[in-house]
Every structure is written in structure tokens, then in C-alpha cells.
Amino acid sequence: MQTVNSNVDFSPVPDIVGALQTILARSQVIIPIDLDTPYAKFPNTDHSAIELKDQSISAIITERQQQLDAVLHDISGLQIVMDNINNLRQQLVKKKDKITQSMNLHKGLVSALWRFPTEVLSHIFERCLPEFDEWLPPLNQQAPMLLSQVCRRWRGIAVGTSNLWCRLCMGNLWQRVPSCCDSWLKRSQGRPLSLALHPSHINHLDELRSLLQPYINQISSLSIGFCCSDCLPEVVIADFPALQELTISMDNPIPAVTPFISQLPFTLRSLKVTQLSLNLEDLSLFNPVWARLTNVEIDICQPNAFPQLLHLCPDLSSLTIAVEFRGTQVLEPFTHTKLQSLCISDSFNTDTTALSGLFNALSLPNLRALEARYVQQWPHEGLKAFLTRSNCPLESLVFGAGVRTTDEQRAEYVALIPSLQVVVDSNRGCFA
């Protein structure tokens, strides 16, 4: 009888198939389909009939044992064949991947993409960068890391394209593998850097400074979060003398971060504050900073804080502001001559009177772009008075999510400024 030897290597496909066919054929011959006997019917009390039969019960048991041994042997042999099939499949999958990789490589050699100049591929790679998320570390499945894994030429181009390595969320990577962050920052080749730091980094300031020290004069944009007064960076911002843009997210009351604010460098031109609504008193704590800012994104909770902010920022050209007005106030007229872009969103369902009072007090003679979001009670008459009084060269008026206006109202705005483009887009966010 032919058996399956566990020491035999069934690596070729025909050997494995042959062994499997042998097992199947032998199993059908050795094991009959019908295993019934005259003694298998119970109850059976005719003992004399049992004794007269040619085939004794002991002979049947012996036969069944032989059949069982044969089945167990075939099960063992089949398991060996199955293991070899799995091993063979893994080998074939690896061969398939290598063949596919080689084929794709040679296809690439004759493709137009392969013949692109390095400068063109560099530009394409820059277009592949995902939107910068301040709190998500880089992923291997995204550019620029993904681009460096395609082939040797692409890796060389990606590593040599400094613009691909100018943005980095530090995450916890710098603590686990600081050499990775260092390599990333080196590839920026001296270009301005945008970094995001988590609150947890504040507990490791000395290590962080050591890592960033060689690149300290490159860091022009920084995002950082404060979750409690205990984790405020007493000198962290002062370490970045070339900082131009700062985003701070905080749950703290403003007085708790006053020492931090006082250290903001004189190079700062853009400030974004999130998760905190400021009042008139809070604005005064930023006094050393406002005068040199040209771009601000902030939340305010008092109507009189709006003109005061404009007063504190004489060079401001772009303002994105969320209002949380909890009452109405009489505002003194105020004119700001440099503001060109204004985005207003309402996060407190401010009533029409408060916003109308705001528009009635302001004059923005250089305004070119105005956007509104989530203002459910739109002050139509107040905006018309504002546009008439400002006599501004407004080019774009955008009504975003949550703002309801009629065709007639929008036509009145165009009548005031014939060159005005009015856009209604419920999915649109504020411009930068």
C-alpha cells in the first residue's frame, strides 16, 4: 500500500497534486459506504442467530480497526499535503509579487512618467502633500513618506525636494525615535518650518530644545495646545526667534497664559486662538502683540471687543472672528483703513440688533472680501448701511453655512456695488 511520507518535500505542484489524488482514491476503496451489519440493529435478542453467522463480531471489530487506522493515516497524510500546499501558496504569492514588481518597473522605464525631468517630478510631489493637520503625525501611506517608497529614483527625488519636509506634527515620535524627526527636519534644507507640538511635550522641554536647536531659526509657524496651567511653556515660544505664525489652543483663563503671551517674538505676524472666547479685558493682556499682527483668527464675547481689537491692530489686513455676543452695547464709530478680508461667524445665535449695531459702528474703506457663517438672523439693513458708509472696493461677498438671505437682498448689495460677486455656499468655510 502506498503511503504519504512526512519527510517528502512536495514543493513542485505535480507532486502535491499526485499525493492528494492517491489519498482520495485509496480512501474510497478502503472504506465502504455501508458499514451496517446484522448485529448493528438493536435490540437484538436472537443470540442463536448470532452464533450461527459466518462472520463473528470479533472479526468485524478487527476490520473496523483496520479501516480506522487507514483513515487516520490518510488524515495525517492529507494534513501534510495541506501544509505543503499552504507553503507552496506562500512561495507562489512571493513570486507573483516579485514578478509584478519587476513588470511594473520595466513598464515604468518606457512610460512618459519615468522620463519626466527631476524638476517636474519634484513639483508633482509637492502637489501630492495632504492637507496639514496640526495634530496628526505623518503616515507611511501618505506623501511624502509614501513617495519615498516607490522606487530608488523617486526616493532620491523625494528626499531631495526640501518643500516636502517643511511641515511636521511632532506627535510622540520625537521621544520614541528622535532620529526620525531629525532626519525629517534635515531634509528641509534650511527652508521655513511649520511644527505642531502637543501639550504633553511641555514636560520634556529640555529634550525638545535639544532636538530643535539646529533648526531654531527655520521655525516660522507653530501650533501648540495648552490643557492646564501646569503645562504652560514658560520659555518655549521665546526659543523661536523667527516665528511668524502661531496657533494656540487653550482651555485656560487668559490670566494663566499672560507670561507666555509676553514672550511672543517680535517677528510674529499671524495669531490664531481657539477654544477660548475673549472679552475686552482679555484683549488688553495681548497688548504687546496686537500692534504688529496682520492676520488674526479669534473668538470674542462682547460687541465692544470688536472695534477695540481693530484699534489694537492698526496693520491688520485679514480677520476671522467668531462672535458670542451675550448682549447689545452702544458702539462708538470706528474706521480701520487696512483691513481687506473679514470673516464673521456666529457661535451664540447673536440677535440681529447686536450685529446691526456692529455694522453701524464700523467703516472699512479698504475691505475687499467679506464672508459670513452661521448668522441665522442676518442684519440686512445694517450691512447695506455699512457698505454705503465704507464705500469700499468689495469684490466678494460670501454667505456660508447657516446664513439665510433672499434673492432680493443679494440684488440690493449688487446694486450698491455693481462689480460685487455674491456667492451662496452652505459648505464653504472661512477664508484664511
Q: What is the DSSP letter of 52?
A: H
Q: Say which amino acid occupies 389.
A: R
Confidence (pLDDT) at 398:
93
Confidence (pLDDT) at 193:
94
Of 35-39, 147-151, 230-234, which has the strongest mean pLDDT? 147-151
Is residue 273 included in any domain, yes or no? no
Is residue 383 included in any domain, yes or no? yes
Conformation bin of residue 363: beta by default, left when phi > 0, alpha when psi is -120 to 50: beta
Q: What is the mean pLDDT of the chain?
A: 79
CA 228, 231, 237, 238 torsion: positive or negative?
positive
Q: How many domains does the chain have?
A: 2
Q: Which range is least confidently modeled, 35-44, 148-157, 374-383?
A: 35-44
Alpha helices in 200-286 (DSSP H): 205-212, 258-261, 280-285
For residues 114 and 297, the model is more confident at 297
For residues 14 and 344, the model is more confident at 344
Q: Long-range contact list for 275-284, CB < 8 A, 24+ apart?
A: 275/249, 275/250, 275/251, 276/250, 276/251, 276/252, 277/301, 277/322, 277/324, 278/254, 278/305, 279/305, 280/304, 280/305, 280/308, 282/254, 283/308, 283/309, 283/312
Domain boundary, last residue among 87, 109, 131: 109
For residues 418 and 48, the model is more confident at 418
Domain boundary, last residue among 80, 109, 138: 109
pLDDT band at 34 (very low <50, low <70, confident <90, very high): low
Cell of 74: 490518510
Confidence (pLDDT) at 376:
78
Confidence (pLDDT) at 6:
44
Mean pLDDT on 77-81: 80
Domain boundary, last residue among 109, 144, 177: 109
Mean pLDDT on 322-333: 75
Is residue 207 included in any domain, yes or no? no
Do 254 and 279 meet the contact criterion of CB atoms below 8 Å apart? no
Percent of the chain with pLDDT over 70: 74
CA 47, 52, 58, 60 torsion: positive or negative?
negative
Is residue 379 included in any domain, yes or no? yes
Mean pLDDT on 261-280: 82
Is residue 162 included in any domain, yes or no? no
Is residue 204 included in any domain, yes or no? no
For residues 94 and 265, the model is more confident at 94
Is residue 45 included in any domain, yes or no? yes
pLDDT band at 66 (very low <50, low <70, confident <90, very high): confident
Mean pLDDT on 196-217: 75
Is residue 117 included in any domain, yes or no? no
Please name the helix (run of DSSP H) or strand (run of DSSP E) that holds residue 54, with its range, or none: none
3-state secondary structure (DSSP) of residue 279: coil
Of 20-34, 44-58, 297-311, which has the strongest mean pLDDT? 297-311
Mean pLDDT on 71-93: 83
Do 386 and 362 meet the contact criterion of CB atoms below 8 Å apart? yes
Q: What is the value of pTM for the model shown? A: 0.68
| CATH assignment of the domain containing 343 | 3.80.10
pLDDT band at 394 (very low <50, low <70, confident <90, very high): very high
Mean pLDDT on 309-331: 85
Mean pLDDT on 285-305: 86
User: Which tens digit of pLDDT belongs to each residue from 1-27?
Assistant: 444 444 444 456 677 777 777 766 666
Domain containing residue 85: 13-109
Percent of the chain with pLDDT over 90: 28
User: Which tens digit of pLDDT belongs to each residue from 168-183?
Assistant: 887 666 666 677 888 8
User: Which tens digit of pLDDT belongs to each residue from 98-142?
Assistant: 998 888 777 767 777 777 888 999 999 999 988 876 666 777 788
Mean pLDDT on 359-382: 90
Q: Which range is least confidently modeled, 4-13, 73-82, 145-154?
A: 4-13
